[in-house]
Amino acid sequence: MEQVPEQVKKERSKIATDVFNKVALERNKMFIGREMWGYRERD
């Protein structure tokens, strides 16, 4: 099987990262202003 050129790998990786970040941002916006329960470890 032929290898994918390094430049193509980098471009595809950037596109995937950008899509992931956009989706994560939109999802996280749903939590703005909400009070959440959680656990925080003390130092």
* Token pair of 14 as six digits: 């950037």
Is the entire prediction scored with pTM above 0.85? no
Distance, CA of 7 to CA of 28 (rounded, Å): 31
Task: In whole angstroms, give the CA distance from residue 5 to residue 22.
Answer: 26
DSSP state letters, 19-33: HHHHHHHHHHHTTTT
Residue 4 above 90 pLDDT?
A: yes
In tens, the pLDDT along 10-39 reads: 999 999 999 999 999 999 999 999 998 888
